[in-house]
Amino acid sequence: MFCHVAPRPRNAEATRAAILTAARERFARESYDDVGMRDVAGDVGVDAALVSRYFGSKEELFVSVLDSCENGADLMTGERQDFGQRIAHEAIFEAKSESKLRGLLILLRSIGSAKAVELVQRAGNERFFGPFAEWVGGPDAAVRARLASGFIMGMTVSREITGGYGLTPAECDQMRDRMASILQSIIDG
């Protein structure tokens, strides 16, 4: 007598999410050029053709990974008049989320690949810099958005590379207040 075991139901959304997670981890650990579709498929335990079916090409998979990382859209939430204070407080005192750090690693590892840089630039302009400049508004909005984001990114990278700022609590308060003032003046124009 044989027992009939029903095949396990397929869950396309769960499989797609698992592929995306595996790709995000790969791109955070390795350069764009070193990651292959077969590598990602192997991490999930699926055939590479399935990765292609869900995401198309490696380029499209990479852009999906970029989209899945926190992209800074949170900069545009909240009131404009407290932008500097809110962002400076986060940069100085709040722990970075794993998603933001992974996204930063992916961006840094992409620098060595002409194709990845092209994809990062296009995605960044369409999904972050354009909307951020629109949120900033007014004359020279694109310039002010780039300055603000560059300052924030620089402070974030500095914090992560050095393991913190190495300052007393009072010095951290002072740095937050100065950073807030600079950011607000950039945004206000």
The domain segmentation of the chain, as residue ranges, is: 12-68, 73-188
Whether pTM exceeds 0.85: no
| Cα distances (angstroms) measured from residue 44 to each of 13, 28, 36, 88, 172 | 14, 16, 13, 39, 43
Q: Is the pLDDT of residue 172 over 80?
A: yes
Average the pLDDT over 55-75 and give the result. Answer: 86
3-class SS of residue 46: coil
Average pLDDT over residues 105-112: 85
User: CATH says 73-188 is which class?
Assistant: mainly alpha
What is the mean pLDDT of the segment spanning 85-98?
A: 86
Across 35-55, average pLDDT = 94
pLDDT given for residue 54 in this prediction: 95
Mean pLDDT (the chain) is: 88
Q: Say which range, 10-14, 18-22, 170-174, 177-181, has the weakest mean pLDDT.
A: 10-14
- First and final C-alpha spacing in the chain: 80
The pLDDT confidence band at residue 6, using thresholds 50, 70 and 90, is very low
Considering only CA atoms, which of 155, 161, 159 is closest in space to residue 180? 155
pLDDT reading at 9 higher than 70: no
CATH topology of domain 12-68: Arc Repressor Mutant, subunit A (1.10.10)
Looking from the CA of 162 toward its CB, the CA atoms found within 13 Å total 11
Confidence category of residue 110, pLDDT binned at 50, 70, 90: confident
Section 52-58 average pLDDT: 95
User: How confident is the model at residue 8, as a pLDDT?
Assistant: 43
Token match 């900069």: residue? 75
CB 113 within 8 A of CB 30: no
Between 94-98, 115-119, 130-134, the lowest mean confidence (pLDDT) is in 94-98
